[in-house]
Amino acid sequence: MAYTFLNQASFGATTEELEAAIGTSATDWVSAQMAIPHTEVLDEMVARYAARDTSGESLFAQMQASWWTGFLHGEDQLRQRAAFALSQIVVRSETTNEPMLRTIATYDLYQRHALGNYADFLEDVTYSVGMGDFLTYLHSAKENESTGRMPDENYAREIMQLFTIGLVELNMDGTPKLDGQGTAIENYSNEDVVGLARVFTGFKPHSSDNESTRYIESLYKPMRQIDSNYEFGEKTFLGYTIAENTPPRDNVRQAIDVLVAHDSFPPFISRQMIQRMTQSNPSPAYVERVATAFANGSFTAADGATFGDGRRGDMKALMAAIVLDAQFFDDLPPALDERKLREPILRMAHILRALEFSNDDPEMHRYVFSRFGRRDKLAMAPMRAPSVFNYYRPGHVALNSQTGAAGLTAPELQLITPASIRGYSDALVEFIYVGMGNNIDPERAFLPVFSRELELQNDPVALVDHLDSLLVNGALDPVTRQRIYDALTEMPVRDDDRYRDKDRLSRVMTSIWFVATSTDFAVTQ
C-alpha cells in the first residue's frame, strides 16, 4: 500500500522512503505536501534572457530542466504530479520557433495553480500571451462588417471542448447522459462557439511604459485587452448572456465562471486527472467520488482529514480525492482493469528517483533532459505535445486489443509503438549504463551509482527481490525474473583490477534494465 500510494502521488520512492512511510498516515503526507509553497522560474529566466546568458543551452532546454528538476528533486511531489497532469489537459505546447519566455510563463501557471483553484488557473491562462498565441486569439477583434472579419473561434471552441466541459453532457460519474434515443447530448453548438468567441476579443501583448523593457515584457507579462478591438456588445452562449458594456476583465471572469459552473465540468476534468494519476480507465464510482469533491471544493478523508476551501474547482480537494480514495488503502490487489499504463515520462522519472545517481546538479539538467523528448527517445516531453490535443486522447479505446474489447479507455497505448518501445529502452540505457554530462563536466555529471544494488550483485535472487519490491511492488513476472538470472550468468565478474568494478556495476545495470523495460513496470501495480 505504501508503494502504491507513494508511486501514485509522487514520481516514485526510494527504498528508504518506502520503509520510512510504513506506519505513517497518507493523509498527513498529503497535508504536508499541500503546505509546501510553489516555485516560479520566470523571473530567473527573464534575467537570463535579458543578460543573454543561456550558458550555452537554449531557454527551451532550461525549461525542460525546470520540469525535470521538479519531478526528480521537488519536495512538492504532489504538486509536480498535478502540474504535469494539468499540462496534459490545458495544453500549451511549444511547437513553433517563438519566444520561449511565453512558454516559460505558462509553466509558472501550472506550478502556481496546480494546488489552487481551476477557475483562477483558467483566468491566468486566458490572459497569458503564450495561450493567446497558441490558440490564436491574440489580436482577435470584434466583428468588422466591411472586411468580413470575425472574432477568432479557436480558443472559444477549445476552452469548452478540452479545458472545461467537453463535447457531451456528463453525469457526475463521467458517463455520458443519453437522450430518449440513447444518444449522447452535445454540450454546445456552433452558435455557442460564436457567442463565446466574442468574449475573447481585444487581447494584445502587454505594453510597458518603459521603452527599453517593452519588448521583453511583451513576451511574458499578462496580456491586456484594448477597447478598440474588444466586443462591448452582448454575448450569448450556453444559455447565458453577458450584458453589453461589461468591462473586458469582468466579461472573461463571467465566461469562465459559467463554464466552471456547468454540470459537465467536474466529471470531465476529474476523469482526466484520474487518468494522469492513478487509473487509465477509472470506474464510474471512482469518478463520481472525485467529481463530487471537485464540485464541492472539499474532500474529507476516511480519517476525517479535510482538504480544499469549499470553492468549486478546488485543486487540493481534487488531488486529495484522487490519491486518498479508499480503494487504495484496503490491502486488496487491484482488479483486472484498475491500472494505469504509465506514460514514458512517469516511468523514466520513477527510475531516476528510486535509484541512486550522483551529482544531481540542477544546472546540469539543462544538458541532460532537453534531448529526451525526441521521437527516438521518450517521444514525449512536457509542453511539447504535437497539438492542443496532447499526446493521446482521454477517450482512446485501442482497436484490436484486449482493453478495447473490454471497452476500456487506454490513452497511453496511443503513444506506444514498436519505435517508441525501442526509443524508451535507448533513453533508459543512456541513464542506467552511460550517465549524462560526462563530456560536459565529469565532476558534475549525472551518473549511475546504485550502491545498494552493488552490495547485492553477487546474489542474483537477492538483487532481483530488491528491484522487484522497489520498482514493481513484488509483481515481477517469473519469466522476467528467470531471464535476469540467465543474463547475469552471461556477465561474470572478471578477476582483473581493470574490469572488476565495472563488471559488477554492469550486472546491476542490466538487471535494472530488464525490470525498467518490463511491462510489469509500465503498468501500476
Partner 1 sequence: MCQSDTHAYALSRRSFLKTSTAAGFAGLAGGLSILNAGDAYAAGTSGYKALICLDLQGGLDGMDVLLPRDQPSFDQLAALRQGLFSAHNVGSGTSARDRENLIALDIANGSEFGSRQFGFAPEMAPLAQMFNDGDMAVIGNIGTLVEPTTRESMQNGLSTLPKRLFSHNSQQSIWLTRDLEGRKPGWGGEFLDALSGANRDFVGMATAGSPFLDKADIRRFDLPLGSFPRSRFEHSPYILRSGAQSDPLKRIMSEHMAAQGSRADNLFQRDLDAVHAKGEATTQAFIEAYGNLAPTSVAFPNHWVGEQFEAIANAISMRDALNVGNRQIFYTQRFGFDSHGAQIGYVERLEEIADAISAFREAMIAAGMWDSVCIFTTSDFGRTLSAGGSGTDHGWGSHAFVMGGSVAGGRIIGDVIPADKTHPQYTRSRPRLIPTTSVDQYAATLGRWFGMDDGALRTIFPNLGNFDTPDLGIF
Interactions with partner 1, residue window 318-347 (CB under 8 A):
336-337, 339-341
For partner 1, which is the closer residue by CB, 192 or 314? 192
Q: Is 477 among the residues that bind partner 1 (CB under 8 A)?
A: yes
Q: Is 236 among the residues that bind partner 1 (CB under 8 A)?
A: no
Q: Which position has the grid cell 457531451?
A: 168
Distance in angstroms (rounded) separating the CA atoms of residues 469 and 227? 61
Which of 332, 419, 461, 462 forms a contact with partner 1 (CB under 8 A)?
419
Give the nearest distance from C-beta 104 to partner 1 in angstroms: 22
Give the nearest distance from C-beta 293 to partner 1 in angstroms: 26
- Indicate the burial class of 208 (C-beta count within 10 angstroms; 0-12, 13-18, 19 or more): middle
Which of 403, 457, 473, 511 forms a contact with partner 1 (CB under 8 A)?
403
For partner 1, which is the closer residue by CB, 214 or 494? 494
Give the nearest distance from C-beta 17 to partner 1 in angstroms: 26
Size of the site for partner 1 (CB under 8 A): 81
Q: Is 454 among the residues that bind partner 1 (CB under 8 A)?
A: no
Nearest-CA neighbor of 423 among 373, 376, 370? 376
Which of 376, 438, 461, 462 forms a contact with partner 1 (CB under 8 A)?
376
Q: Is 413 among the residues that bind partner 1 (CB under 8 A)?
A: yes
> Which residues lie closer than 8 Å to 278 by C-beta, 6 or more apart?
8, 322, 323, 325, 328, 340, 524
Give the nearest distance from C-beta 402 to partner 1 in angstroms: 5
> Which residues lie closer than 8 Å to 447 by C-beta, 6 or more apart?
357, 358, 359, 435, 436, 438
Which helix or strand (DSSP H or E) is residue 357 part of? strand 357-358
- Given a contact cutoff of 8 angstroms between Cβ atoms, the answer to whether 516 and 355 are in contact is no
Phi, psi for residue 121 in degrees, rounded to 5? -60, -50
Binding to partner 1 (CB under 8 A) within 251-270 occurs at none
Q: Is 480 among the residues that bind partner 1 (CB under 8 A)?
A: yes
Rg for the chain, CA atoms, rounded: 24
Q: Is 210 among the residues that bind partner 1 (CB under 8 A)?
A: no
Q: Is 502 among the residues that bind partner 1 (CB under 8 A)?
A: yes
Which of 509, 511, 512, 516 forms a contact with partner 1 (CB under 8 A)?
509
Q: Is 351 among the residues that bind partner 1 (CB under 8 A)?
A: no
Nearest-CA neighbor of 446 among 458, 430, 461, 457? 430
For partner 1, which is the closer residue by CB, 310 or 386? 386
Q: Is 499 among the residues that bind partner 1 (CB under 8 A)?
A: yes
Q: Which stretch binds partner 1 (CB under 8 A): 120-128, 202-210, 386-394, 458-466?
A: 386-394
Q: In Å, how far are 59, 87, 318, 359, 488 from 365, measured between CA atoms?
A: 12, 20, 31, 10, 32
Which of 211, 227, 418, 439 forms a contact with partner 1 (CB under 8 A)?
418
Q: Which stretch binds partner 1 (CB under 8 A): 5-13, 295-303, 305-313, 485-493?
A: 485-493
Binding to partner 1 (CB under 8 A) within 114-153 occurs at 136, 139, 141, 144, 147-150, 152-153
For partner 1, which is the closer residue by CB, 104 or 515? 515
> Which residues lie closer than 8 Å to 32 by C-beta, 6 or more apart?
none
Q: Which stretch binds partner 1 (CB under 8 A): 23-31, 106-114, 187-195, 244-252?
A: 187-195
Q: Is 438 among the residues that bind partner 1 (CB under 8 A)?
A: no
Distance in angstroms (rounded) separating the CA atoms of residues 288 and 454? 46
For partner 1, which is the closer residue by CB, 284 or 404? 404
Give the nearest distance from C-beta 461 to partner 1 in angstroms: 17
Q: Is 19 among the residues that bind partner 1 (CB under 8 A)?
A: no
Q: Which three cell numbers stand for residue 295?
A: 464540485
Nearest-CA neighbor of 377 among 350, 355, 344? 344
Coil, strand or helix at 95:
coil
Distance in angstroms (rounded) separating the CA atoms of residues 496 and 208? 68
For partner 1, which is the closer residue by CB, 145 or 330? 145
- Indicate the burial class of 217 (C-beta count within 10 angstroms; 0-12, 13-18, 19 or more): middle
| Residue at 301: amino acid letter | A
Q: Is 249 among the residues that bind partner 1 (CB under 8 A)?
A: no
For partner 1, which is the closer residue by CB, 107 or 446? 446
> Which residues lie closer than 8 Å to 100 by C-beta, 6 or more apart?
45, 58, 59, 60, 63, 94
Reported for 44-50, long-range contacts at CB under 8 A and 24+ positions apart, including other chains, are 45/100, 45/101, 45/104, 46/101, 46/216, 46/220, 49/101, 49/216, 50/216
Q: What is the DSSP code (8-state) at residue 358?
A: E
Q: In Å, how far are 100, 216, 442 from 50, measured between CA atoms?
A: 13, 8, 29
Q: Which three cell numbers stand for residue 155?
A: 480558443
Which of 408, 436, 467, 508 forms a contact with partner 1 (CB under 8 A)?
408
Q: Is 414 among the residues that bind partner 1 (CB under 8 A)?
A: yes
Which of 42, 114, 122, 193 forms a contact with partner 1 (CB under 8 A)?
193
Q: Is 228 among the residues that bind partner 1 (CB under 8 A)?
A: no
Which of 170, 410, 463, 464 forms a contact with partner 1 (CB under 8 A)?
410
Give the nearest distance from C-beta 281 to partner 1 in angstroms: 9
Which of 36, 261, 305, 487 forms a contact with partner 1 (CB under 8 A)?
487
